[in-house]
Chain A
Amino acid sequence: MSAFWYYVFTLVFFLFDYFILAMGLNIQYGETGILNFAYIGFVAIGSYVTGVTSLPNSVGTGQQYILGWGLPFPINLLLGGLASSALAVLVAFIALRRLRTDYLAVVLISLSLVLYDVINNYVPLFNGADGLYNVPEPLAGFFKLTTNSFIPFFAAVSGVVALIMWWVMHRITNAPLGRTLRAIRDDVEVSSALGKGVFRYQLTSMIIGAFYAGVGGGLIIQFGGSFNPTAWLPGETFVIFAVIIVGGVGNNVGLLVGALLVETLLIHLPAFLPAIPGHPGLIEYIDTMVVGVLLMVMLWFRPQGVVPERIRRSPISLVKRPASAIIDVAAPTEPVVAPVGNPAIQELP
Chain B
Amino acid sequence: MTDTPSPTTSDERDEFALSCHDLKKSFQGVMAVSGATFEVPRGMITALIGPNGAGKTTVVNILSGMMRSDSGRMMVDSTDVTNWESYKIARLGLMRTFQLSRELGGLTVLENLLVAPQHQSGESLFNIFFRPGRTKREELANAQRALEILNTYGLYELRDSRARELSGGQKKLLEIARGIMAAPKILLLDEPMAGVNPALIDRIGGYILDLKAQGMTILMVEHNLNVVEKICDHVIVLAEGRTLATGRLSDLRANAEVVQAYLGEVISAGPAH
Contact = CB atoms under 8 A, between A and B. Distances in A.
B148 interface: yes
A345 B87 contact: no
A332 interface: yes
Interface in A179-214: 179-180, 182-183, 185-187, 189-198, 201, 204, 208
A186 B105 contact: yes
Interface residues of B, number: 67
A277 interface: no
Interface stretch (A70-78, A101-109, A322-330): A322-330
A190 B231 CA distance: 27
A190 B87 contact: no
A337 interface: yes
B206 A334 contact: yes
A194 B139 CA distance: 17
A182 B90 contact: no
Interface stretch (B34-42, B70-78, B149-157, B249-257): B149-157
A176 B116 CA distance: 10
A326 B147 contact: yes
B154 A329 contact: yes
A313 interface: yes
Interface in A148-206: 168, 171-172, 175-177, 179-180, 182-183, 185-187, 189-198, 201, 204
A177 B125 CA distance: 8
B271 to A, nearest CB: 5
A41 B148 CA distance: 47
B124 A177 contact: yes
A337 B206 contact: yes
A192 B156 CA distance: 26
B105 to A, nearest CB: 5
A175 B151 contact: no
Nearest to B188: A193
Given A180-B115, A332-B154, A309 B129 contact: no
A175 B121 CA distance: 10
Contacts of A172: 125, 128
Contacts of A328: 151
B226 interface: yes
A342 B224 contact: no
A333 B152 CA distance: 7
A1 interface: no
Contacts of A342: 226, 229-230
Given A179-B114, A187-B102, A342-B230, A329 B135 contact: no
Interface of B: 64-66, 85-87, 90-91, 95-96, 98, 102, 104-108, 110-111, 114-116, 118, 120-125, 128-129, 135, 139-140, 143-144, 147-148, 151-152, 154, 156-157, 159-160, 162, 178, 182, 198-199, 201-203, 205-207, 209-210, 224, 226-227, 229-231, 271-273
A-B CB proximity, top 4 nearest: A336-B206, A176-B122, A195-B90, A337-B205
18 contacts: A171-B128, A171-B129, A182-B104, A182-B111, A186-B104, A186-B105, A186-B106, A187-B104, A192-B65, A195-B90, A196-B115, A314-B108, A335-B205, A336-B210, A337-B209, A338-B202, A342-B230, A345-B230
